[in-house]
Structure 1
C-alpha cells in the first residue's frame, strides 16, 4: 500500500517536473516564434492606441473631458509598447553578434531569456488590450442613453469571455444578471422562461443585465419576453471589426474587413500557410506538421535547403501570427500533429475569394459530399485543387489537362483498388499529391511521370503493399507511408537522394528495410 502511494506521488512529481522542463525548453526552441508574435501584438496595440487618441482629440475639440481612465490607459500603452519594442530590438541585435562560422553555436541562455521575455511581454500587451475592451463595454452599459450593447466578432476571439468578465465587474450595479445561450436555432420559449423573473424586475424599474450569447440572427425582444424602452439607443462594438457569425447583412463587409487583415500581413510564409489552410473542409482541423511538409514541397521558404525543424519553427511562428490576427483559431494538441488549428467559415470565404483570382488559382470542393469529380475546362488554369473529405470512390480514366497544377488534395475519400492508369497524365508539374486515408491497393505506372513531385502522402491506405515504383520519383522530399500495409522498404527507395522525411510509423507488417535505404 505504501509503495503504491509512493509510486503515485513520485509519478505526479515527475509529470510536474517534465511539464516545467518542457515549458522552459520551449522558451529556447520557440524564441523566434515568440518574438514574431510579440511584434504582431505591438502593431495591434499601437493601432488601438491611435484610435483612442482620436477619441481624446475629438473630446477636447468639443470641450469635453476625455476622462482620466482613458488618459491613464494611453500612458500605460506607451510604456508597454516601448518596453516591447526595446525587447524586439535587443533580440535582433543579439543575433547579429553571432557571426559565421560560430552562428550555429547560439548562446542557449540568450535564446531562453528572449523567448521567455517575449512570451511575458506578449501576455502584458494582450491584457492591456483586453482591459480597453472591458472598459469600453462598461462605459456603454453605464450610459443611460444606451440600452443594447452588441459585441460582434468571428468565433473564437473571446466574446463570451469578455461578456462574463464585464458581468463580474458590474454585478453590484444590477438587481439581476441573466446569461442565456441562444445558439443557431432561437428557442423563444426557453428564453422567455429564463428571463421571466428578470423581466418583472425591469418592469418595476430595477436595473437588470441580460447577456444573450451565441446569437446567429436578429432576436425579437418582445417575443422573447424581454421588455424594451422605445427611447433608448443601441451600440454595436465589433471585435477585430468582424461581423457576427450568422449576420448575412454584414457578411460581405466582414469579408472585406478580414481581407485587410490578410493584406496587412508582411510575412510571405504566413500568407502562403493561410491560403493552404483554406483548402481544408469547413470546420476541419489543420496541423503544423502537415503545413510544414506542404510548405517544404511547394518551396514557400526563402532558403531552399532549410532543414525540417527550422521549417517547422517558421511555420509555427506564421501560425501564431495568424492566430493573433484571428485569421486562424486554436483547436487542440494532437499526438500526430503536435498542434491543431482551424479556420472560421467567414475567414475561409475570404481566403477562397483571394484564391479564385490571379495567377495562383485554387479550386476547393472539400468536405461537401461529392461522389464523383468531372473536371470542367475552366479548371485547367488552376494551380491547386482540393477534393479532400468527400465520398469519391472512382477517378476518371483519361488524361486531364492540368499543365500548371502543383497541388492535388484527394485525401479522406473512398478511393478503392487502384488509381486509373491515365488519371495522373497531364499533371507533370505536380509537387504535392495527398491521397492519404483511402483504400488504394495498387499504384499506377503513370505515377512515374510526376517527375517534379516533392511530397507524396499515402498514409492510411492499409492494403497498399508494393511501393518500389516510388523509387522513380527522384525529386521527393517528403514521403509518408504511415499506417499502410507495406512489408518492406525496397532498395529503390534508397534512390531518393533528396528525401528528408520518410514516415513509416504504425506499419504493422513492416519487417524488412533494404540495405542502404536508411
Structure 2
C-alpha cells in the first residue's frame, strides 16, 4: 500500500506541476485574444485617420506628414501580415490549449504593434493639427489700393454690389466699365470692407485672382491654389489642378473675385464648382466688356461710370497737392482736371505728375498737350494711353478696329449721327458694299453695339447718336497718328484752327479731319495725299472757297464732307474724284450751283439739303450707283413745289435701286 500510495502521490505531484506550469500559457492565451481585438480596433482608427489626412489635408509639402504616412503604410503591412499568420497558426494548431509557445510569441508581437499604432495615432493627431493651422487660409486678405471714401459715385456702386451679395438669386456679378474707370479699385474696397463685416458671415473665404489680358488658365489656377494654401506647381496639368481645386473648393462657401477679365472663362476647366450646385458661393468678375460678363453667365451687371466734376476735382487735388489750389494756378488746374473727363486713372496720373509744380507755364503746357491729345505729360502714355489701348487691341471681328478709329475724327464730346457713321464705313469698304441698305445698316449697328459693350463708345446726347469718352478719343487719335499703315490719320477737329498746316499733310494719311474749325482758306497746292479716303471739312463756317488744286491732292477720296460751309460753288477738280462715294453739302446755304456730276459714277450718297441750288446738275442719270439723294430745304430748286414735310421713298434692296430719296422743304434750323 505504501508503494501504491507513493506512486499515486508522485503522479499527483507531477500532474499538479504540469497544471501549474500551464497558468502562464492561459494568461498568454487570454492576453493574445485581447490584443487581437484591440489591434483590429486600433488598426481601423489608424486607417480612418490616414484616409482623412489624404482627403482633407494638403500634406505633400509637409515632410513630417509625409514621413508619418510612410510609417503608417509600413505598420499596416506588418499588421496584415501578422493577422494572416495568426489565422494560419490557429488552423495548424487546431486551437490546442497546451501549445503555448507560438501563442506567447504572437501575444508579444501584437503588443509591440499595438504600441506602434498608438504612437502613430498620437503623432498623426498632432501633425494634422499643425498642418491644418498652416493649411487654413485667412478668410479675407487685405488688398492694398486707393480708398473710395468721399467718392459718391463709387460708394453707390459699392453699395449696389454689396446688396447683390445678399441676393440669393444672384450668384455671379459682373462689374464692367472702360479701362481706368476704377473697377479694380471698387472691388478692392469691397474685399477690404468684408474683413470684419457682418456680410463676411455668409462666406468662409474671399479669394482674389488677377486674370489679365492674355488668359493663362494654369496661372489663374496657381493663384487660386496659393490663396487656398494648396500645394501646386506649373508642372501639373490644368486638368489635375482643376481636380485638386474642385475638391478643395467644394468644402468652402467662397466669394471668388476674378479681376481684369478680357475673355469668357470656363469655370469647369478652372476647377471652380458651379454656384448653382454649390449653395452660397458667389463669383464677381471685372471686365471692360459687357459681352464678356454675359458670356461668363453673370446674373447681374454693375456698370462703373466716370466721376462727376466735384469728385474729379477732389481726386485731382489729392494727387496734385496744395499747389493745385494756389490762386494763380487753380483756374488752369481745374481745366487740366476737366481734360481728364472724370477718368480716375488719368486724374491720378496727371495730378501726380503736376504735384509741386508752381510755374504756371508748366500748367499751361500740360493743358495744351491734353487739349491736342498729345501725350507730353510724363507717364501718361505708358500709364494711361497704353492700358486703354489694350481695349482696342482686344477688339475682334473684321474691320471693327478701323471703324472705331473713324469715330475719333469728330470733335471732343461730339454726338455722332449713327446713320452718317454707318454710311462712311460703307463708303470706305469697312462694311460689305454689295449688301442692300438694310443689311449694311444692321451690320453697322452691330459694330456700334460691340464698341459700346467694350466701353469704347457711349450713348450720345440724342437718340440715334454715339460719342467717345474724351480720354478714349485721345487714345484713338494717338493710335491713328502713330500707325504707319492702315488708318493713319490727322485729326484737328474742333480746336479753333484758322488754317491748315501743309507740313502735316503727309502722303501716308488715310483720313483727314479739320471739321468744326474757323478755317477761311485752303492751300491751292503743295500737298499730296494720294491714299486719303475721307476728308471732313464740315462746320468751317468761314470757308467760302475750295481751290481747284486742293481737291487734286486727294485722288483716292471716297468721302467728302463740306457741309455747313460758305462755299458758293464746287471746283471742276471734283470731277477727277472718280472713286468718291459720298458727297455731303448739307446746309451750305450759299451754294447755288453744282458742276455736272455725271462723271462720278461711283457716287452713292449726295446730300444737297438746305442749299440754294436752283437746279440739279445735268448727267444725274449717269449716277447709276446713287442710293441716297437729299434735297430737303432746297427752296430755290426749280420744278418742285414747297411742302411742309420730307417725302422719304423706300425702294427695294437691289443694287441698282435708290435706297432713299428725300424731297420737299422744311424750315431751316428745324
Q: TM-score range by the shorter chain?
A: 0.5 to 0.7
Q: CA deviation at 1:377?
A: 6.8
In 2, the alpha carbon distance for the partners of 1:269 and 1:367 equals: 26
Find the counterpart in structure 2 of residue 331 from structure 1.
460
In 2, the alpha carbon distance for the partners of 1:330 and 1:460 equals: 25
Residue number among 471, 474, 477 corresponding to 1:345 in the alignment: 471
**Pairwise mapping of residues 481-500 of structure 1 onto structure 2 (< 5 A)?**
481-500=608-627
In 2, the alpha carbon distance for the partners of 1:439 and 1:480 equals: 16
**Pairwise mapping of residues 93-492 of structure 1 onto structure 2 (< 5 A)?**
122=294, 128-130=300-302, 157-159=304-306, 181-184=310-313, 215=316, 218=319, 220=321, 243-245=345-347, 247-248=349-350, 251-252=380-381, 253-301=383-431, 303-334=432-463, 338-360=464-486, 361-376=488-503, 379-398=506-525, 400-492=527-619
Q: CA deviation at 1:53?
A: 6.1
**Pairwise mapping of residues 62-73 of structure 1 onto structure 2 (< 5 A)?**
68-70=253-255
- Residues 1:126 and 1:328: Cα distance change in structure 2 (over 3 Å): farther
Q: CA deviation at 1:440?
A: 1.1
Q: CA deviation at 1:387?
A: 0.8
Q: Aligned to 1:470, what secondary structure does the other structure show?
A: coil
In 2, the alpha carbon distance for the partners of 1:426 and 1:456 equals: 17
Q: CA deviation at 1:217?
A: 5.8
Q: Tell me if structure 2 keeps the 8 A contact 1:415–1:438.
A: yes
Q: Tell me if structure 1 keeps the 8 A contact 2:506–2:527.
A: no
In 2, the alpha carbon distance for the partners of 1:399 and 1:220 equals: 49
Gaps of 5+ in 1: 1-37, 82-117, 131-155, 162-179, 187-211, 225-240
Q: Tell me if structure 1 keeps the 8 A contact 2:319–2:348.
A: no
Residue number among 479, 502, 511 corresponding to 2:629 in the alignment: 502
C-alpha RMSD of matched pairs (Å): 4.4
Q: Aligned to 1:340, what secondary structure does the other structure show?
A: strand
In 2, the alpha carbon distance for the partners of 1:403 and 1:434 equals: 18
Q: Tell me if structure 1 keeps the 8 A contact 2:416–2:467.
A: yes
Gaps of 5+ in 2: 1-173, 178-182, 184-209, 232-244, 260-264, 270-289, 326-342, 354-378, 642-656, 662-670
In 1, the alpha carbon distance for the partners of 2:429 and 2:226 equals: 49
Greater length-normalized contact order (CA 8 Å, ≥ 6 residues apart):
1
Larger Rg belongs to: 2
Find the counterpart in structure 2 of residue 61 from structure 1.
229
In 2, the alpha carbon distance for the partners of 1:246 and 1:56 equals: 31
Q: Tell me if structure 2 keeps the 8 A contact 1:243–1:254.
A: yes
Q: Aligned to 1:402, what secondary structure does the other structure show?
A: coil
Q: Aligned to 1:484, what secondary structure does the other structure show?
A: coil
- Residues 1:217 and 1:307: Cα distance change in structure 2 (over 3 Å): farther
